[in-house]
Amino acid sequence: MKEYTVAILGATGAVGTQMLQCLEERSFPVGRLKLLASARSAGKTMAFRGEDIVIEEATPASFEGCDIVLGAADDAIAKALLPSAVDAGATVVDNSHAFRMDPDVPLVIPEINGGDIAWHKGIIANPNCATIIALVPTWPIHQLAGVRRMIVSTYQAASGAGAPGMAELVSQIEAMGKGEPLPEPRAFAAQLVSNLIPQIGGFNDEGYTSEEMKLQNEGRKIMHLPELAVCCTCVRVPVLRSHSESVTLELERPVTLEAVREALAAAPGVKLVDDRAAESAHDRYPMPLDTSDQDLIWVGRVRRDISNPDVARGITFWCCGDQIRKGAATNAVQIAELLTR
């Protein structure tokens, strides 16, 4: 098997660290690994397959000799450095928002549109985490009956703000448990513990946040549905990791609940957990506590949308998935796996 020189840009962050773990778990054919981060991390080490790999400072010259670069840095760093990786001959799979809506850049969820990597010009974009978690189970239903419209509410974990977000929530929980004053919020707009924050990203003129618009804009590109209509409300919740979403679909054609459940149960990347009679809540429906540290999107609470005038064309479900894994790192490594075939 051919081996590849792989670099991770932003290797020390929550997503970069998870990318490293995924490469090892999935036995990716890494011949040489380069870990790239800021100057303050240079010289430190991270373990990979029993070896300590020295972290290097990320510069435009860092990508010489690389075959695949996994991007886990913010938009500004991605825009500044990743074109140099392409110039050096590498193929980039980038997790930032920097290139997602570029018409020359495929935006890929392997379970849905893996074939789009065929037209890449050096960069392939990884979708937003909430987009991935919603669309993986939506896709098999779309294949059954065609999706016309989505109404989505997201319940997004602190992990969506990376390691600083998770650390902030933990520090607030600890302070509250000790009866101490809570530290001032930095990663979020307000205190997250014992609270919900109905804003992720900045607002547009219509009152929607940038996070809310990603599901429509990215969903259209990934599913090849330029007319897809999405109404989304994104909420930050005091959960450490794993996003949850309530998804209502308006379909083009009538469909039975049995057909929907069968399609979900058979769909790649999906686990159907939908047994209302189960003794344990863990077997009745998905919960973020159960879906963390794994790669499937769990789906349950599958039912009719009784508000749809044509009830046979309305489906509602609840889903949960690990934001750091399938919502980011694992999806990127899955794309890289497609590049090796």
The Cα-based distances of 16 to 10, 77, 162 in angstroms read: 6, 14, 10
Q: Judge whether 120 counts as a catalytic residue.
A: no
- The tokens 């909420």 sit on which residue? 235
DSSP 3-15: -EEEEEETTTSHH
Catalytic residue among 129, 232, 319, 320: 129
Q: Of 151, 173, 172, 322, whose CA–CA distance to 247 is shortest?
A: 151
91-94 and 123-125 as β-strands: parallel, antiparallel, unpaired? parallel
**66: annotated active-site residue:** no
Among the options 97, 120, 142, 243, which is catalytic? 243
- Round to whole Å and give the CA distance between 331 and 162: 16
In our burial notation (b when 16+ CB lie closer than 10 A, e otherwise), range 62-90 reads: bbeebbbbbbbbeeebbeebbbbbbebeb
Which helix or strand (DSSP H or E) is residue 317 part of? strand 314-321
Show the tokens assigned to 13.
Answer: 């962050």
Question: What 8-state DSSP symbol labels residue 76?
Answer: H
The catalytic residue positions are 129, 243
